[in-house]
């Protein structure tokens, strides 16, 4: 599909692409980054609520399938969370990220709200999986990940974020589920590659996520470019 003629994809459109074309996914934090992602042809985005609900968002990102996120604990009771999710859809969200229980996902799905879960290294639940490290290295752990994905599938989720999972495990999981699997440091065998804008653009100092080592040269070049521009401005 050519970017110049593309339209905002539906859930059905994305499902139809599973196994046929790898999607691109990004998390960005501003309208400027949203506009750049649109120009680059990014398929899917995770977007902070204040950006996604901005009146100008759909003007700058009309064809990006955009996902909002708000934890159920921040919203209060299940009924209050459901109310927030319905409001998010009305304001332009195409799907909702939910790291809550399978029961919560099922509640949203039963109301026809497209919902995406999270498996593997889930930051809010990292203590249960041994901290901030890869998940699924043993056969038992890999099978548990598959079961979690199947539970999301049975709960009615349209997809899951699979974070910091061995490539071979992620590949097999993606093949064994009908829902979309979005890789966050889980290799190229999933249905989408998910990266953060601040990592791609070199805004983050210090630790570089493993999946971005191959584009570190881009980060270096960006830093050099910015330094060069600043020096020129100082000498005007």
Alpha helices, DSSP H, located in the chain: 11-16, 31-40, 49-52, 57-60, 72-75, 78-90, 102-110, 139-155, 167-175, 197-200, 216-234
Half-sphere exposure of 108 (CA within 13 A, CB side): 32
What sign has the CA pseudo-torsion 102, 107, 108, 111? positive
Is beta strand 180-184 parallel, antiparallel or unpaired with respect to 159-163? parallel
Shared-domain flag, residues 126 and 175: yes
Residues 153 and 191 in one domain: yes
C-alpha to C-alpha distance for 147 and 229, rounded to whole angstroms: 51
Q: Are residues 174 and 228 located together in one domain of the fold? A: no
Mean pLDDT over 12-25 rounds to 94
Per-residue pLDDT of 35-81, as tens digits, reads: 999 998 999 999 999 999 999 999 999 999 999 987 666 666 888 88
Residue among 163, 168, 216, 231 flagged as catalytic: 163
Q: Is residue 90 annotated as part of the catalytic site, yes or no?
A: no
Report yes or no: 3 and 172 within 8 Å, Cβ to Cβ. no
Q: Are residues 128 and 101 in the same domain?
A: yes
Listed in order, strand segments (DSSP E) in 76-114 are 95-97
Is the model's pLDDT at 27 over the cut of 80? yes
Question: Do both 97 and 42 map to the same domain?
Answer: yes
Find how far residue 149's CA is from the centre of its chain: 16
Of 26, 19, 60, the closest CA to residue 43 belongs to 26
Q: Is the predicted pLDDT of residue 156 greater than 90, yes or no?
A: yes
Report how far residue 206's alpha carbon sits from residue 140's, in angstroms, rounded to the nearest whole number.
33
Is residue 134 located within the same domain as residue 190?
A: yes
Mean confidence (pLDDT) of the chain? 85
In which domain, by residue range, is 128 found?
A: 3-201
Q: What is the pLDDT of residues 183-193, one digit of tens each?
A: 988 888 999 98
Please name which of 142, 201, 148, 141 lies closest in space to residue 177, comparing C-alpha atoms: 148
Strands (E), the chain: 23-27, 44-46, 65-69, 95-97, 115-120, 159-163, 180-184, 192-196
Q: Could you give the percent of the chain with pLDDT greater than 90? A: 62
For the chain, what is the domain count? 2
pTM of the model: 0.82
Rounded Cα gap, residues 163 and 28, in angstroms: 18
- Enter the tokens of residue 125: 């639940």
Is 25:192 a contact under the CB 8 Å cutoff? yes
CATH number at residue 66: 3.20.20.60
Whether 110 and 116 have beta carbons less than 8 Å apart is answered as: no
For residues 212 and 225, state if they share a domain.
yes
> CA–CA separation, 125 vs 144, rounded Å?
15
């Amino acid at each position: 599909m050519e970017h110049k003629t593309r339209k905002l994809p539906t859930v059905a459109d994305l499902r139809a692409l599973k196994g046929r074309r790898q999607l691109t996914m990004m998390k960005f934090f501003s309208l400027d980054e949203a506009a750049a992602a649109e120009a680059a042809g990014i398929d899917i985005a995770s977007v902070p609520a204040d950006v996604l609900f901005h009146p100008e968002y759909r003007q700058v990102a009309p064809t990006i399938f955009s996902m909002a996120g708000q934890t159920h604990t921040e919203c209060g009771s299940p009924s209050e969370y459901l109310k927030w999710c319905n409001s998010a859809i009305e304001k332009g969200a195409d799907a909702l990220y939910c790291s809550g229980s399978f029961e919560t996902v099922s509640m949203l799905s039963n109301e026809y709200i497209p919902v995406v879960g999270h498996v593997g290294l889930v930051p809010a639940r990292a203590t249960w999986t041994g901290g901030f490290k890869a998940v699924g290295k043993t056969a038992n752990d890999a099978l548990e990940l598959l079961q979690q994905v199947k539970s999301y599938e049975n709960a009615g989720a349209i997809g899951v974020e699979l974070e910091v999972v061995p490539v071979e495990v992620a590949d097999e999981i993606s093949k064994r589920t009908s829902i979309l699997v979005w890789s966050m440091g889980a290799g190229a065998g999933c249905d989408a590659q998910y990266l953060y804008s601040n990592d791609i653009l070199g805004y983050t100092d210090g630790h570089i996520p493993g999946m971005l080592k191959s584009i570190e040269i881009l980060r270096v070049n960006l830093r050099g470019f910015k330094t060069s521009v600043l020096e020129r401005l100082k000498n005007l």
